[in-house]
Amino acid sequence: MRKQRGMTIIAVLVFAFLFLPLVVIVVTSFGKSATIQFPIEEFSLDWYKKALSSETFMSSFKLSLSIGIGATLLALLVGVPASYALSRYSMKSKNILKSFFLSPTMIPGIVVGYSLFQFVVIRLNLPVIQGLLIGHFLISLPYIIRVVGSSMEQLDFSMEEVAWTLGCTRPRAFMKIVLPNVSSGIFAAFMLTFVNSFNNVPVSMFLSGPGVTMLPTSLLSYIEYTYDPTVSAISVMIMLLTILLMFIIEKTLGLASIA
């Protein structure tokens, strides 16, 4: 009984430690004061209006959204076939290839960002948008390989072989049998990868240019000189966006399973 009570207390403390900061952010975003106060003295939506009317924040938000979606889709185009090949076929160099694909997650983010800056910006002299897309693609690919690869490894490929013997071409069998059976893994990988790209700081910081910045970089620059509830309001909107994406993906997976 005492052990169970102790575990309950620990669980409550962990829950409070994880979610209390989020509660503070949500509450302070509705304050009237020009400084962050908790609890708030007066309710206001001024900071949301300020965030939505800020050209800097809105342009950086659109850029983060477009780069996140673009990099994730590119990573899916490369990562799904790569995960299929690594799971489907026996190769002597399989472990080496997996380590190669997952290597960006084994290196500190600041090192990855600086390395990409040296290669993409200094050596190749690419435009900022292209550099950001390449950088976010490289940090997104490992998540696709890891999540989709886990789904592929649990797939019974004998179903695909039966389709081959019945005259189905390999590409058609892949589209009709393999992809539907790993759709949940693909959607989960998309969600995880997009959120990671959207919120990434090191790569975004090094590859951003004058007038072209991702949202995390804009927030860091803003906090450096101004500390008001605007950032709280933007944080709440980002959380709502993430929840909305999770809801859409959950509904999509539900419809896919019914179909």
Q: Is 125 left (phi over 0), alpha (psi -120 to 50) or beta?
A: left
pLDDT in tens, 7-46: 677 767 777 677 777 787 888 888 777 777 777 777 888 8
Residues 6+ apart with CB under 8 A from 16: none
Angle among Cα 204, 208, 211 to the nearest 5 degrees reads 135
pLDDT tens across 191-233, in order?
888 888 888 888 888 887 777 788 888 888 888 777 778 888 8
pLDDT at 5 (0 to 100) = 67
Structure tokens at 55: 């050209």
Neighbours of 199 (CB within 10 A): 15
What are the pLDDT digits (tens) for 64-109? 889 999 999 999 999 888 888 887 777 677 677 777 777 777 777 7
Task: Return d(Cα 93, Cα 99) in angstroms, integer.
Answer: 10
What is the pLDDT of the chain when averaged over all its residues? 79
90 sits in the region (left: phi over 0; alpha: psi -120 to 50; else beta) called: beta
CA distances from 123 to 79, 126, 127, 129, 236 (A): 26, 8, 12, 16, 39
Pick left, alpha or beta for residue 157 (phi over 0 → left; psi -120 to 50 → alpha; otherwise beta): alpha
CA dist., res. 118 & res. 133, Å (int): 15
Task: Check residue 250 and give its pLDDT.
Answer: 67
Q: Does residue 219 contact residue 166 with C-beta atoms inside 8 Å?
A: no
Residue partners of 146: CB distance under 8 A and separation at least 6: 102, 105, 189
pLDDT in the model for residue 249: 67
